[in-house]
Structure 1
Amino acid sequence: MLIDFCERNGLIVTNTWFKKPKRRIYTWKAPGDWKRHQLDYILVKHRFRNSVKDVKTLPGADIDSDHNLLVAKFRTRLKKIIRFQKRRPRWDLEKLYAQRQSVQETLEEKLGAIEGESGNAEAQWNDIKECMLDTISDLVGKVEKIARKPWVTQEMMSKMEERRKWKNVNNEEGRRKYRRLRNELKRATDRAKKEYLEKICNEIMEFQRTGRYDLMYMKTKELGWKENHGIQNVGIEDSQGNRIVDQRQVLKIWENYITELYDQPNHPETLEVEPEEEVDTDEKGPYILQSEVEKAIKEMRKGKATGDDDVPGDVLKLLGEGGLKTLTKLMNTIYESGEWPKDFTEVTMIALKKKTKATKCSDHRTISLIAHTAKIIAKILKRRIERKIEDVLGEDQFGFRRGKGTRDAIGMMRIIAERTLEIDEELCVCFIDWQKAFDRVNWTKLMQILKETGIDWHERRLISKLYMDQKVRVRLDRGETGSVQIGRGVRQGCCLSPILFNLYSECLTKEALDGLGDFKVGGQIIQTVKYADDLVLMAKEETVLQGMIDRLIEIGRCYGMEMNVEKTKVMKISRQPTPVTIKIDQKQVENVKCFKYLGSLLTDDGRCTCEIKSRIAMAKAAFSKKKNLFTSKLDLNLRKKLVKCYIWSIALYGAETWTLRAVDQKHLESFEM
């Protein structure tokens, strides 16, 4: 009976597994000790059989019984249950577009009713927000579960739930319906997966054909979606290096980190621009047009996460003529008054790990969830100030500019290296790393630069008020920190930030390096190659380079910037390179023979062999990670497209800048085979 019971319930009898002396096996002895039997057993689930290390009896134990004490040595790792904060449900965007007509009509009716109402920006925004949220709450609703795969629709999720219910019905009808649903889901998911991959591949190939490499690599990343294997709670280190896992303490550590990073104690008392009365009408800036609002909405991407207001950007895309008029009125109220609604200035940040076992706050990358309506104003401001800023930027800045990208900066560095070696000269190159460059921008200095650049008064006032009023909090899996007021840095996640930082960086380097440098190409002195905050200094003489760095450190501190000595590297490009002695604050800068610049390896011999080998290795690793995509289950033509889009795009990154030798060409040909 015991054996049958164990078989039915998946149990094992642990004290029959180990070879022991007889005195360690029997569990009962008859009075007078004339016979002994094994009557007691320890049963465990079959899945834990390897956790049982030893089972034996202890005949000498005093337990006041005619049975012997039976003990088991058990070693296992119990799962730690962590109660995470419940995530905010997402809006059902599939249903939103399915109900597009009714949503649009309802929005027009509700927003039209408040079009004539006046009030400050906060009141107007609250009315608009309430209309939009009420409409999508009534007509759309939120999804109960979110699909882990990008091609799985809500209809499939509903069928999966129905299949799960029939699985537990133990009769012929239940088994028949379960098999039918399983087969339907299998066909539907396979078809949806193929269509999704086909669509992504076609988009990647179109971006490649039109030369939009930035969008091409962004779309390529969508093919490399990550499986969610659960959250590892490894804790966070505090300022003393102690690992903290307590929920409240971790949130406090994050709050202190944000406070220190954005220099809350030194928050400027005021960033007031000059009084409006002192500004000419032509310098104030024109009102916001409805066409500007409409264009900004069209540029917004679908399916992006919502900000604290919980209004999805997809709803803004459904606004009709009346809705656009109401929204334009709000924009002009903000533009004229300079006052931002609270939802636009308070931002939630999501902390994402840069590496697998991130134990420090600095090992995380923060992503800001900004209200989509605030993004519309930011896009309009960006378009208005971009041309004036472009006139100030030099030709050596390749970051966040139309018609320029990482390839251009990499190509410039390779051309300079090859030109130097061609005429048998030497070039000292320093790869500067600024500590948290975007987060250390001094606002007072930035406002001064914007005024000198000729940015209109209304735009400058809006930017200054946005920075002065902004607050952030960090959202973790285990809760949220308190709100922290920001004291410096450009706004994380805002479309204005890249061009504002480019302007700030340009003024810094121009002031620091004016009249310095000795490296000429075509009679023109070349001092730097810049990609946003990635700065490369170059000079023929070591002493000249040291003077440029010293000056850059001095002026950089006036702008609130600090160099990271550990990550700053120096290299000497020469046929016979020798170490370069460069110091930052009396600390020796590390000499390197190879440096990864914007994802591409640059070497002191000017050759591309190391870069090509590295690219091939990265492409092989990418193939290995996603080899399940290249199985025979997929159509052959689709597999070819996947290899071309996903693997070759990685292998050939920066290939336009390569100078191939015969051995390099053989490496590429063998990889292709």
Structure 2
Amino acid sequence: MTVIQIHAPTSNSDDEEIEQFYQDLEQTINDKAKKDILVIQGDWNAKIGSKESTGWEGTTGDFGVGKTKDRGIMLLEFAKTHHLVVANTLHNHKLSRRTTWHSPDGVTHNQRDYILMDRRFQTGINRPKTRTFKKSDIGSDHDPAMMTFRMRLSKEKKVSHRRAKFDLEKLKNSELAKNTKEEPNQLKILQKCEERRELKKNRFTNNENLDQYRKAKEEVKRAIIKAKDEWVEKQAEDVEQSLAVNNSRKAYNVLKSLTREKIRSKADILGSEVRAAIIKLKRNKAPGFDNLPAKLINCGGEPSVKTLHLLCNRILQTGKWPTQWTQSILIPIPKKKMSKNCSEHRTISLISHPSKVLLTIILNRIKPGIEEILDESQAGFRKDRSTVEQILNLRLLSESQRNHQKNVFLNRL
């Protein structure tokens, strides 16, 4: 809201001074923010008059004072040009609540002070409470005029982030395993490897079986080499396309992935570790930022194990976690009903379920080393251990000291 306080030139001023006043006021209006509600108030030194709304509908009301003068017409023209309404002429108050100026002899009473505001917001004006206040001890021949305005702000619409719901009951259908999509070349190579594995069992029974095994072995080698060449060719095409569209960063990353030496860690994550971690995932838990339910991973079978196995090893080698694995959703839960204070809430954090698989693997790997370091007195958060003995010792010590009327100090680390 922009409020402009003015004092117009008096009746003794010439027309040029009046025109300059309205030009300066118009410039001030143009400088305000367009979204602001405009209110202009003050001593206009003009008379709009009563029952003068004919021809000025929407600009003034019928409840002014006196007769319209030339300065009043200039004021109405200015208000109509800028889509303003004279607020203190809209309600039929008694005369003493409309007049704003009194002559020194107390005989003449006029209305010279007006409050103008944006016409589109006039429904927020409380007309009965927009009036002049008499007997105000302010040492002036003017009475203060007040407008009561109620601003109705529209509520900001909340953007609904609807999360996709998975029909997890369909996972119980064993036929869904057939819908697993794999690359055609990979599928052919796997089929040839399976045929070679079957021929290997009986390769020494006769020469014909041995020849078939050797032939299948060579076919597998050629297929792998061909698939590798096709993959390298595809990477080269990606580099060329990236350079053609001036995407040098993508081209550099592809070349870097092809040329750098890949040092495999001796402690690569095993598929059995991933499988065991997936089994430990608790079902019916809310998903994290990536919207992947734990039940979906549990029922995914071998495809889920293979995918997470490759992903976990990739994270282990590069040291970079997926962005969605590092984000969590904080849910505030009130400790008391209908509580609005932040201190009376606790929060839970929803993290990504696939990240829990890798965290479980890391925890299982560091547990043996931690068990050797921890003291025997440490019982919290340890398997098959309880803090009952420690609590009992503290209670016995405190009771013993109280019996001897001595102070007990507990140092919590």
Query: Under TM normalisation by the shorter chain, which class is it?
Result: 0.3 to 0.5
* TM-score between both structures, scaled by the size of structure 1: 0.25
Larger radius of gyration: 2
- Ranked by relative contact order (alpha carbons within 8 Å, sequence separation 6 or more), the top structure is 1
